[in-house]
Amino acid sequence: MKNDIIQIEITDITPEGFGVGRNNGKVVFVADTAVGDIITAKILKETKSHSFGKVLEILTPSPCRIDSKCPVSAKCGGCCFSHISYEAELKLKQNFVKQAFARIGGMDIKVNETRFDKSEAYRNKVQYPFGRGDSQKCIFGYYARNSHRIVQHESCLLQDSVFTEIASFVSKTAERLFIKAYDEESARGVLRHIVMRKNRKGEISVCFVVFENHKKLSILAEEIKKEFPQIVGIHINLNKRKDNVIFGDETFCILGSETLTDTLCGKIFEISPRAFYQVNAEMAEQLYNHAKSLIHTEKEGKVILDLYCGTGTIGLCIASDKDKLCGVEIIADAVENAKKNALLNGRSQENTLFVCGDASLGVEECKKTFGKPDVIIVDPPRKGLDKAVIETVAKSEVKQVVYISCDPATLARDCGIFFQFGYTATEATPFDLFPRTGHVETVVLLERTDSAI
C-alpha cells in the first residue's frame, strides 16, 4: 500500500528508466535503479496492476551500477541511465528491441548488438526551456522527470559546453534588458525556449521561442552574436499557444543566416530552425550507411521514395546519381531545405522531387513523376506509421521497405501489420544515437514475399 516500506530486487528496466521489481507478485517501478540492485523502497503511488516507489537504500548494488558523473542526474529528466555502465546500457537497448518485437509485434526475429560511438558530448542540438526562479529571475535547464519544473545546471555531459554558456549569457542579458521569461501558470512573459544547433565546423544557429515579439529581442540578438562570434544566425519563433508544444507556426530570422549548413555522409545540408536533423551526426552516418547496405536490387537507376524525409538527409545520403529520388514531408520549411540540399549535392529536377504533404500521398506523388517506387524508406516520428500509410505502401507492391524508427514499440507494432500484408523481416539493428537516455534508433528491412505479389 501507499507509504509502505518494502525490500525488492530489480530484475528489469523499462525504456523510461524505471527499474522493475515485484512485491507479493505485484510489479513495482522504481527510478534510479539497475538490474541486480537489492533495495528498500517507499511506495509513492498504488494502482490495481502496479506500484511506483522511491529508493530509500541500496542494500546490494548491481554489478553494472556506477557513480553518475552528473550532479543533477537524479533530478533532471534528460538522462535515465547515467548510473549504470555504458556496456550494460547497450545490452538493455538491444533487449528493448527484442522485447518489443516479441510482446507487441508477436515476431521472433534476430536483433543484432547495439551499434554505438561515443557516449558523451554527442548532441549537436539542445532545447532549453526558460522559466522564473524563486527570485523571479530568468533561469534555464531541463525539465525534471514527468514535470515542467526546471532543473538548473551549469553543464551537460551529453553536449558541447558552449550551449550552456550561451544559455547562461542569454538569461543574464535578458534580465538586464527586462525581457521576462515566460510563466506557464499566468501565461505571461516572453522567453519560452532557446533552441541551438551546432555543425561540425563549430558554427551555431540560435532560435528563441517567444510568447510575444518583444522590441528588445534584436538588442539581445546583437549582444549574443558579439559575445559568441561562432553564431551564424539568430531566429525568432512566435508561439502563443498555452500548451506544451514547443514551436509555433511563425519563424523568422533577425540576424545573420537563415539556415545552418552541415555535412553528413559526404553530402551538404542546409537546416532551418524547425527542420528535423539527427542530433548525433557520427551515429547518423553509421545508421544511414547501414540502411543503404540493406537495399539490394539489380536494377540500375532505382526509384526511391523517402517518406517523412525532413531536410532530405536520408534519401540524399542513400540515393546514387543514377537513382530517382522522391521525398515527402509535412513541414514546408524542411521541404524547401530539402530542395536546396538536392541542388547543393548536384541533383537535378529530372531525378529529384520533394513534396510538401502527408506521407499517405507519397506513393501517388512518386508515381506521377517517376513511376512505381522500387524502394520505400520510412522514418516516422515516435507515434509510428498511420495504418493508412502502411496500407498505401503495401498496396504499391514495393519489394523493399527500409524502416528507421526511434521507438521500438511502434516499430514492432507496424512491422506486425506489414507482415499481414505479406512482408517479412529477418533481423533488426539498434543504433545508440542517444546514449545515457532511454531512446534507441532501429533499422529493419521489410521484404515482400513472392506469394504476396
Q: Which residues are catalytic?
A: 406
Task: Output the nine-digit C-alpha cell for 290.
Answer: 547501414
Neighbouring CB atoms inside 10 A of 146's CB total 9
**What three-state secondary structure class fits 135?**
coil
Contact criterion met (CB below 8 Å) for 34 and 62: yes
* CB-neighbour burial class of residue 74 (10 A; exposed 0-12, middle 13-18, buried 19+): middle
Q: How far, in Å, are 135, 211, 214, 285 from residue 181 at the CA level?
A: 12, 9, 11, 37
Return the number of other C-beta atoms located less than 10 Å from residue 79's C-beta.
23
Give the up-direction half-sphere exposure of residue 435: CA atoms within 13 A in the CB hemisphere: 23
Q: Are strands 441-448 and 400-405 parallel, antiparallel or unpaired?
A: antiparallel
- What is the C-alpha separation between 256 and 235, in angstroms, rounded? 9
In this structure, is the dihedral angle defined by the CA atoms of residues 408, 123, 311 and 426, taken in order, positive or negative?
A: negative
Retrieve residue 256's grid coordinates.
Answer: 545573420
Nearest to 194 by CA among 173, 36, 297: 173
> What does the block give as the cell for 13?
528496466
b/e sequence 404-421, b meaning 16+ C-beta within 10 Å: bbbbbbbbbbbbebbbee
Count of other CB atoms within 10 angstroms of residue 95: 18
**What string of DSSP letters covers 312-328?**
SHHHHHH--TTSEEEEE
Helices (H), 7-127: 86-103
Per-residue burial over 183-199, b if 16 or more Cβ lie within 10 Å, else e, is eeeeeebbbbbbbbbbb
